[in-house]
């Protein structure tokens, strides 16, 4: 167990605490936990790179921790009516489509090299912004007035990145003789 993996596990263990504070509508504390998770995400990656502590388990756990936090946040915030349910469906559907594509390539013995595209990274950033923004909106009318635009930008980027991943996966599969 090295420090980056420990930080990733702490991030995973913080998810139920994050959910509890969301359910009790303690949004400021939930925001602090969410920000803490973001800081530990950056920190574990930095430590792993700088101190040569990359591990195979860390390469799998880190993105899983990120997706668990995002997906859980979207689901709970949708249940609470803080963000629209349709946005949560778009976010989760995109991730499921990507996972199914990777699984299909793996099952058909294609070499799977996972490389995020710019649009995918941009949609993830907007998903993070959406969750953080939703936790701040109860405290600011200005933030609340901008929130619908944040939602639509997130939906657009998420859908567009999903379509781009489908295109790239289909093209790759066809080129490999699938």
- The ranges assigned to domains in the chain are 1-82, 83-178
- Measured from the Cβ of residue 90, the count of other Cβ atoms closer than 10 Å reads 20
For tokens 């559907």, what's the residue? 93
The SS3 of residue 96 is helix
CA distance 141 to 138: 8
Does the pTM exceed 0.75? Answer: yes
Q: What is the pLDDT of residues 43-95, one digit of tens each?
A: 999 999 999 999 999 998 999 999 999 999 999 999 999 999 999 999 999 99
Q: What is the pLDDT of residues 130-177, one digit of tens each?
A: 999 999 999 999 999 999 999 999 999 999 999 999 999 888 888 876
């Amino acid at each position: 167990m090295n420090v980056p993996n420990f930080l990733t596990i702490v991030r995973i263990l913080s998810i139920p605490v994050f959910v509890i504070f969301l359910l009790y509508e303690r949004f400021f504390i939930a925001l602090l936990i969410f920000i803490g998770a973001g800081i530990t995400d950056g920190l574990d990656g930095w430590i792993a790179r700088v101190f040569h502590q990359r591990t195979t388990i860390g390469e799998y756990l880190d993105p899983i921790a990120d997706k668990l936090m995002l997906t859980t946040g979207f689901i709970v915030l949708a249940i609470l009516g803080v963000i629209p349910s349709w946005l949560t469906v778009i976010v989760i559907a995109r991730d499921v489509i990507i996972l199914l594509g990777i699984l299909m390539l793996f099952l058909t013995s294609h070499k799977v090299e996972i490389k995020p595209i710019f649009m995918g990274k941009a949609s993830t950033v907007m998903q993070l912004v959406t969750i953080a923004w939703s936790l701040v909106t109860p405290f600011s009318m200005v933030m609340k007035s901008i929130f619908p635009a944040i939602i639509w930008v997130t939906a657009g980027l998420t859908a567009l990145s999903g379509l781009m991943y489908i295109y790239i996966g289909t093209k790759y599969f066809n080129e490999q003789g699938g």
